[in-house]
């Protein structure tokens, strides 16, 4: 494990400092490192396009917050490269260590004193007629919603090829356990423990109050058909968007690969929930 990829949040001054410090440490240990171009240019060293870094790396260290980590998880995809998240801001749900811990904790990565935690990802295919027009993955969620005016649209829902119901709603969130504390939570969905092998369907402001969130095994396949509505978008992890048309079919299932996170210490998920959600305050 000698080849280290480094990706950082864009426009974050603290990221530059943190990467510089880590780079100095890696030089002493004679590690190979591959730093994305934007950060590398600020450090006046050779950089690499972000999309090339997973192909060159044994592990990837990500400096930023949960949003940066989500983008890297999608980038790594099926390559199986372990990811270590270093949080530069407030408390994150999926970043592993804080900026001040990097020097103390980084040796554990290379001494074998760490574990891998795997999280399921979703795969979304959009079909227009008989043609698949896009395929995208997501670690947090796949969301169908309106681009501007908050007007309801109709969605036909089928699970494992069987029609279930037609929803009239402002949108629909299909979330992994990792993403259950993101958009789904704000729409009234439950919190799922992040390593569960399941996914969650949460309607956004449904017309019928009996349309409630539902948790499904991750072996199921969900199919959503846009029955009516203009300016409907598919959004992946809140970062990638694609416009949809009436009669488009979106097939969502578990990806055949998982995101692998490096875990350096006993991570108390419930402590994170208590702090992030301000339980008991």
Domain 3-114+264-276 maps to which CATH number in 3.40.50.10330, 3.40.50.2000, 3.30.360.10, 3.90.1150.10?
3.40.50.10330
Whole-model pTM over 0.85 = yes
From the list 115, 99, 108, the residue with the least C-alpha distance to 195 is 115
Cα angle 222, 223, 228 (rounded to 5 degrees) comes to: 140
Spell out the domain ranges in the chain.
Answer: 3-114+264-276, 121-256
Q: What is the mean pLDDT of each run of 10 residues along the chain (281 residues)?
A: 88 84 80 91 92 94 91 96 86 73 74 84 96 97 82 92 93 97 94 95 90 95 91 94 95 97 79 83 76
**C-alpha distances in Å from residue 260, one per residue of 46, 49, 144, 251:** 27, 22, 27, 24
User: Residue 51, SS3?
Assistant: helix
* 167-215 pLDDT tens trace: 999 999 999 999 999 999 999 999 999 999 999 999 999 988 888 999 9
Q: Which residues are catalytic?
A: 66
Distance of alpha carbon 83 from alpha carbon 260, whole angstroms: 6
For domain 121-256, give the fold.
Answer: Tumour Suppressor Smad4 (2.60.200)
């Amino acid at each position: 494990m000698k080849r280290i990829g480094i990706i950082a949040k864009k426009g974050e001054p603290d990221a530059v400092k943190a990467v510089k410090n880590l780079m100095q440490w890696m030089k002493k240990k004679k590690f190979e490192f591959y730093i994305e171009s934007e950060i590398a240019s600020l450090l006046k060293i050779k950089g690499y396009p972000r999309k090339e870094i997973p192909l060159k790396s044994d592990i990837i260290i990500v400096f930023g917050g949960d949003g940066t980590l989500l983008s890297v998880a999608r980038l790594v995809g099926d390559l199986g490269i372990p990811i270590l998240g270093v949080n530069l801001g407030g408390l994150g749900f999926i970043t592993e260590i804080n900026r001040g811990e990097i020097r103390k904790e980084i040796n554990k990565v290379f001494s074998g004193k760490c574990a891998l935690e795997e999280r399921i990802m979703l795969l979304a295919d959009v079909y227009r007629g008989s043609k698949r027009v896009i395929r995208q993955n997501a670690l947090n969620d796949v969301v169908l919603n309106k681009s501007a005016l908050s007007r309801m649209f109709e969605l036909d829902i089928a699970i494992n090829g069987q029609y279930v119901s037609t929803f009239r709603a402002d949108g629909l969130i299909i979330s992994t356990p990792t993403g259950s504390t993101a958009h789904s939570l704000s729409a009234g969905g439950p919190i799922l423990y992040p390593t569960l092998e399941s996914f969650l369907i949460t309607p956004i402001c449904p017309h019928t109050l009996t349309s409630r969130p539902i948790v499904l095994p991750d072996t199921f396949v969900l199919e959503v058909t846009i029955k009516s509505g203009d300016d409907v978008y598919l959004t992946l992890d809140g970062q990638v968007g694609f416009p949809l048309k009436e009669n488009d079919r979106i097939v969502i299932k578990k990806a055949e690969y998982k995101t692998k996170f490096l875990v350096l210490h006993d991570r108390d998920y419930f402590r994170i929930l208590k702090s992030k959600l301000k339980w008991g305050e």
